[in-house]
Structure 1
Amino acid sequence: MAAEPPRRGDHARQSFSNEEYADIFYLYGYCDGDAAAARREYLQRYPNRRPPHVTVFSAVYRRVRGTGNVQRQQRDAGRPGGIPRIPRAEDEEILSKFQEDPTTSTNIVARRLGVSQWKVWSTVHTAGLYPYHYTPVHVMEEGDPVRRLDFCRFMLNADAEDPMFFRKILWTDESKFDQDGITNYHNLHFWAPKEQRNPGKKRPSKSQRRFSLNVWMGIINDNLIGPYFLPNYLNGENYETFLREDLSGLLHDIPLATRQNMWYQHDGCPAHCRVTVRRWLDENYRHRWIGRGGPIPWPARSPDITPMDYYVWGHMKSIVYCDNVPVPTLDQLRDRIINATNDIRRTLTSNVIKSELRKRMRVCIRNRGSHIEQNL
């Protein structure tokens, strides 16, 4: 009868004698940490032995470095579900450091206790701990949760009365795009052969010749409006000029029936709160605009419940700055913004507005008006 083929993950449970593990460890170092080469060398030297999987070589090295032992730590076979053995005093000391300060790092704990970082990682992993990331959120001020609750309740009630309500709202916002974008250097790498010296790659940043673009955009149902390039310094006067002279042209392709029943939304930035701006909105969107001082007040510090923030800007900037290289000229930055808009426009669906927005507002109500990003 043919032997049963090894199941996925069986190689991780292979056990060898101390002598075999010693040879595995030696050849991993002999081949300068190349596990595949070490396995080939092992097969040539010991053709009559059971061949170890390629992952065994690096696993043995980590185990020796972390614990000083070549053999894996055994689990208590008599306990149900393969529950790990009771931690030793050293493990308990490691875990106590994370109980005292859940924000600490494996590197800090390893240095303080004089153990390897791999040992710390192994202990917290066995204990079922996982390093969760913080979610950046706006600082809530007094009264913000109540205003967010009131707004979300109004919106969901209006949606229940009129299933097309969310599709009638033109959500708008402005965002700055500069030549550098946002770069996470922690995740920016240059791959090169290990034996090669550090190539000393550089990435230009913080040019003295700075330029940026202030972009207005809107989204209604499954239509993306814009981009429109506003003055870099936006004030009430030039924002009012934009509403009076340019907005209607941007909405030219929106059906007339939609425009006649459309709501206008913007946030509470100072330029939006100018008296003449609010007067113009009252005249052109009577009882149908959302904003500071409007018939439906916009709750401050609420980017998590507007599709411009939770969908459009993040998506656009990931396209505009996809190569992690500063944009060389203002014209190229403008072209990238236009191209990114066209990319998003081709894939935009009404679910971005109706389904996602409804879900976020319900979560906001469940959280009593507090932050919701960590619950999505």
Structure 2
Amino acid sequence: MECIETIERGIVKAQRIYSEQYPERRLPHHTTFTNIHQRLREFVKFEKRSHDSGRTREVRTEALEKDVLNLIEESPETSTRKIDRVLNVTIRILKEQQLYAYHLQRMQALPIRDILSRVVFCQWLINMIGQLWFMHDGAPAHFGISMDWSKRTCKLASPLL
């Protein structure tokens, strides 16, 4: 309170008194003190000025919730912003009903026509692994540093490549 009284006498003095009273706090910018001084001169008290600002909202009732849900049921593709504009409501009703502004969709799906070709490829791959891993003598395959022979064999033998 003492800081506020000294603002009338000078902003620099008010800053000094504030820093003495609250040494552990960070000193506010000088424009903060200027704004406080201006607000006190205009309104004589500290009061939130934005209490009537913005768009008024409808009072939330059961009928309003039903209207929102009916609008969604009629056209599910309606955006939440449009619902907000038409009925003048918040989106909180939608969130409480677990209705969100997005929808799930499959991004990766296996079409039925591809299933048979994948099964054929997997069977071929299993056979090739068995042939390459255990050669005719029963020992594991050993081709040295380069695997060129096995890569060529796979390319030649694959029904799909």
Report the TM-score, using the length of structure 1 for normalisation.
Answer: 0.21
Larger % of strand: which?
1
Report the TM-score, using the length of structure 2 for normalisation.
Answer: 0.43
Task: Point out the structure with max Rg over C-alpha.
Answer: 2
Larger % of helix: which?
2
Q: Answer 1 or 2: higher relative contact order, Cα 8 Å, separation at least 6.
A: 1
